[in-house]
Structure 1
Amino acid sequence: MAGLAHYVFFTLHDSSPEAIDALVNDCNHYLDGHDGCTSFLVGRRTPDLLRPVNDQTFHVSLQVTYESREAHDVYQTHPRHLEFIEKNKPTWAQVRVFDSNL
């Protein structure tokens, strides 16, 4: 079975370094280490990459790959994932999710 890539781009209401750090820390705490996860990366937008093709509208990116669609689906309803959403959703101005089969 093919894997699944899950990319999430967060735009925050508060773009301060402290707010961005808080979201990155919560991503690491709540979203890493789930069963079936084959890679986990979270980071801040690189502000000095200003080519016309660079999207400047997000603050934090999350890139997670799963061994299967089933592993991804379990993650989506896992209590730690749901707690992350509940805690952080008020801080989000926009969230964009891109999922793709690998």
Structure 2
Amino acid sequence: MKKIITLLFITYIISSCSNQTTTTSMPIQGDFAHTVYFWLHRPDNPDDRKAFEASLTSFINQSPYITTKHIGVPAATNRDVIDNSYTYSLLLTFKDKAAQDQYQDEPAHKQFIAESSHLWSKVLVYDSEDILE
């Protein structure tokens, strides 16, 4: 009976802890952020989207220089300051600018451009370096 009570108490503690929400945010890892927006020629074409996503995912999963990665589509937000006209966004972080420079010269990066550049009509890149200590 003592073992059952102990087991029930442990189960209660574990379930209580798992129901709590945290408000701590994780800082971005890496001092260099590389944000890219892509506009596809045919954004409603499922074959183009599938080819683009496969090529981009394959490429970024091969890179040893990327610290964090995020591929996204426009969020369902609507405010005057939001430009959601793009088809895909890519947010990558790197340890530093030198790592990002190496990423630019990777064979996988060049292969992605060769495979997919015919799919997009426009690309915008925003690079930034961390100013926080």
Q: What residue in structure 2 maps to residue 69 of structure 1?
A: 97
Among 17, 39, 51, the residue aligned to 1:22:
51
Change (3 A) 1:44 1:17: farther
The residue type paired with residue 70 of structure 2 is L
Shift, 1:22, TM fit: 2.9
Shift, 1:21, TM fit: 3.6
1:14-45 residue CA offsets vs partner (Å, 9 max, x unmatched): 01151234322221111234223210100111
Q: Which protein has greater RCO, CA pairs closer than 8 Å, 6+ apart?
A: 1
Q: Tell me the distance in 2 between the aligned counterparts of 1:11 and 1:90.
A: 11
TM-score (norm 2): 0.69
Paired positions, count = 100
- Unaligned stretches of 5+ residues in structure 2: 1-29
Q: How does 1:4-43 map to 2 (within 5 A)?
A: 4-16=32-44, 18=46, 19-43=48-72
The residue type paired with residue 96 of structure 1 is L
Hey, which of these two has a bigger chunk of helix by percent? 2
Hey, which of these two has a bigger chunk of strand by percent? 1
Shift, 1:84, TM fit: 0.1
The residue type paired with residue 43 of structure 2 is S
1:33-85 residue CA offsets vs partner (Å, 9 max, x unmatched): 42232101001112x31221110220000000000111100100100000000
3-state secondary structure, aligned to 2:38 = strand
